[in-house]
Structure 1
Amino acid sequence: MSGHTAGRAISQRLADLALAVVVGALAVVAAAQDKDTTALDHGLLVVGAAALAFHRALPLLVLAVATASGAAYVLHAHPGPLGALTVFAAVHLASQLGHRGRAAGASGIFLAAYAATGPTVPAAIERTGLLAGWFVCAVVTGLAGRNWQAYLRQTEQRALEAERTREEAALRRAGEERLRIARELHDSLTHSISIVKLQAGVAVHLARKRGEEVPPALLAIQEAGGEAMRELRATLEVLRTDEPTGTPALLVERARAAGLAVELSVTGEERALPAPLDRAAYRIVQESLTNAARHAGPAKVRVELAYGTDVLAVRVDDDGAARPERPPQPGHGLTGMRERVTALGGTLRTGPREEGGFSVRAELPLG
């Protein structure tokens, strides 16, 4: 887990704990205003409030505990509307996490228990009607909060996508410029250096053929011409090569810095790979992380590199929004990935996972 992700998780836990403490304190203080409140009543309120600290991990269980303890409290103590505070908070949080129907059902159960404490039917209807409005607001505000968070996530993803598009465009322009420079160097310098080298060689050959001593300057020109040609060819090779600018580990770090929850696992004896194989592994991880950032939503991603004796296995899984019943349409990224793997004699399997999310598995022969 990266420092950014760990810090965010700690902040969420502290916020959840603070919420439970504040709600519990308010509920207990309100209950203390009634001199007939017993230790059992305080215990029920504390249990309901403490459960709120775990609402992210166990939202439905927290909703059930808060509703049961709240209903038991009102049936035993017959409190005022503030006795619903812990249940109100649990309903709001469950609705915000997407459990709208369960939240409404819990509200109905608690309101039924609350109505049963009314001294008369008209009084029960009056006090329960006011409280029902509160619970409707809890469900609605929970849904509004969920929609707002979804909007923020989409905005962040669009910003990341725009940044990635700008980076890709810059890299593409840089590659085109490299190729243009390589062509210019090849068309101009290669021809001129070749002519100089050729003429120097002819002059040396004729001098030796006539039995004359070859001038040292002529030999130096011939040697310098050959060296210049070798260096120029090496430079052109660098300009024309589209090598990856990093490693899969660096890609994972960049994705974490951008907010994607990514884990990297490397098994086997990690070693240097041939350039085509190294480039293919890099591009597979790069494209998979890009697709996860674009389509998986707030998902966790696991990248696995397994160095075998004869095969390098690359696997990238996420637990995002993809489902077997609605597989995504393959785009240019997956097509290019498959072409790379096929060109190296490997195999590639992509598609939704049974448990949800998307999986990319490639096996690249090391031979």
Structure 2
Amino acid sequence: MELDQVTRGRLADATLAVVVGALVATAAAFDDGTAPVDYALIALGSLALAAYRSAPRAVLAVATAATTAYVLHAHPGALSALPVLGAVHTAARVGHRGLAAAASAVFLAGYVATGPTTGEIVERVALLVGWFLCALVTGLADRNWQAYLRQTEQRALEAERTREEAALRRAGEERLRIARELHDSLTHSISIVKLQAGVAVHLARKRGEEVPPALLAIQEAGGEAMRELRATLEVLRTDEPTGTPALLVERARAAGLAVELRVTGDERPLTATVDRAAYRIVQEALTNAARHAGPAKVIVQLDYSVGELTIRVDDDGSAARTRTPTPGIGLTGMRERVVALGGTLHAAPRAEGGFSVRAELPLDGVGEAV
């Protein structure tokens, strides 16, 4: 099984601590007079490095104290400074520069107090000072690099958010432009057709003549076209759904459609894209049922599972199971919304009669619903 990032980091820290301890202990084995207490101090100072991510100051204190005590007791070589070097580097990396410098000074003072010959002390202290300076500088450089990476990531996220906002703004402007064009062109034309048909019907009835069925059909179709156009313009001018599937069911029921809502699973808030898609799917399915199913009963079912929302709208209307549905704008738009979220859609007549719409939407929708 693949390990997560936190576990891999802890294993890497423990490995580093063991390697440092092994190096110092191996060097101590070649020194005369190394006692068991010295190995215990080496182990304490080295293995403390395994916790440097969670407690860098505590690790710095433990490593400095244990390693300095080991140096004062056993008078080892310069390699004994490795645990303190590691602790100084990690402390400087997280911003504790003063503490890191103080720990370096404490260890160097303890090392000087071991009392080697003058030539040896100058050579070893100069070497250790160089090492500690490198540890401080590399720790600070690593800190600055991590800060630069975080800033770069934040700028990238901000740029992505800005692009998304610009795309949404352009989409909204395009919707408004289309709404204006439809209103200025189609609304006028349909109003003229409806008005002329109404006048013709009125004149025929005034003269006592029978109104031709075609004329009545034109009048009714004109009114229906006007209502649908107004609904379309309202959708184009509205960026987000203004309700919930439950509200859609209530509206459909108030309009005379026999509809029932069933919710199963653990109902919970949805992301904006999934919520918008669910609203539009239920809206379109209920609209189709009201137009084409006749006096039918409709069941809207929302099933919340662990990672998926299943929407099912079934009616027992007049659709024949052998009749293949013609994909109009409504079904096409519904399918586009579902596919954009990485889901699946099935819309077809039921075997027992009527029509069924079934949409399966991942709750972590991968795209932006259209």
Shorter-chain TM-score: which interval?
0.5 to 0.7
Query: Deviation string for 1:197-223 (max 9, x for gaps)?
Result: 111111111112222111111111111
Counterparts of 1:270 and 1:70, CA distance in 2 = 58
Task: Answer with 1 or 2: which has the greater Rg.
Answer: 2
**Counterpart for residue 84 of structure 2:** 87
Q: 1:230 to 1:10 in 2, by over 3 A?
A: farther
1:212-251 to 2 correspondence within 5 Å? 212-243=209-240
* Alpha-carbon distance in structure 1 between the residues aligned to 2:93 and 2:43: 22
How far, CA to CA, are the matches of 2:113 and 2:174 in structure 1? 79
Aligned to 1:199: 196
Q: Which residue of 1 aligns with 2:93?
A: 96
**CA positional deviation for 1:157:** 1.2
What does 1:143-158 correspond to in 2, within 5 Å?
143-158=140-155
CA–CA distance in 2 between the matches of 1:240 and 1:13? Answer: 54
In the alignment, which residue of structure 1 is the partner of 2:37?
A: 40
Distance apart, 1:193 and its partner CA: 0.7
The match for 1:187 among 184, 190, 206 is 184
* Alignment gaps of 5+ in structure 2: 245-265, 277-370
* Partner Cα distance (2:215, 2:241) in 1: 43
* Aligned-pair Cα RMSD in Å: 2.6
**AA in 2 matched with 1:75:** L
Q: Residue 169 of structure 1 aligns with which residue?
A: 166
Instruction: Specify the code of the residue in structure 1 equivalent to 2:206.
Output: K
Which residue in 2 is equivalent to 1:309? none
Amino acid at match of 1:94: A
Relative to 1, partners in 2 of residues 1:191 and 1:158: Cα closer, same or farther, differing over 3 Å?
same
Deviation at 1:119, TM superposition (A): 2.7
What is residue 249 of structure 2 aligned with on the other side?
none
Q: State the SS of the aligned residue for 1:34.
A: coil
SS in 2 for 1:211: coil
- For normalisation by structure 2, the TM-score amounts to 0.63
Q: Percent identity at matched positions?
A: 75
Q: What code does the residue aligned with 1:64 have?
A: A
Equivalent residue number for residue 132 of structure 1: 129
1:30–1:82 CA contact under 8 A, matched in 2: yes
Q: Is structure 2 residue 157 aligned with structure 1 residue 160?
A: yes
Deviations 1:286-328 (A, max 9, x none): xxxxxxxxxxxxxxxxxxxxxxxxxxxxxxxxxxxxxxxxxxx
Q: Aligned partners of 1:136, 1:106: CA distance in 2, in Å?
A: 12
Give the superposition deviation at 1:8: 3.3
How many residues of Structure 1 are paired with residues of Structure 2 in the alignment?
Answer: 249
1:118 and 2:115 matched: yes
User: Displacement, 1:131?
Assistant: 0.8
TM-score by length of 1: 0.63
Say if 1:169 and 1:135 are closer, same or farther in 2 by CA, change over 3 A: same
The 5-angstrom pairing of residues 59-98 of structure 1 reads: 59-98=56-95
CA distance in 2, matches of 1:50, 1:243: 57
Which residues of 2 match residues 275-294 of structure 1 at below 5 A?
none
- How far apart are the structure 2 equivalents of 1:149 and 1:108? 27
After TM superposition, give the deviation of residue 118 of structure 1 in Å.
2.3
**Does 1 or 2 have the higher relative contact order (CA < 8 Å, sep 6+)?**
1
State the alpha-carbon separation in 2 of the partners of residues 19 and 270 from structure 1: 47
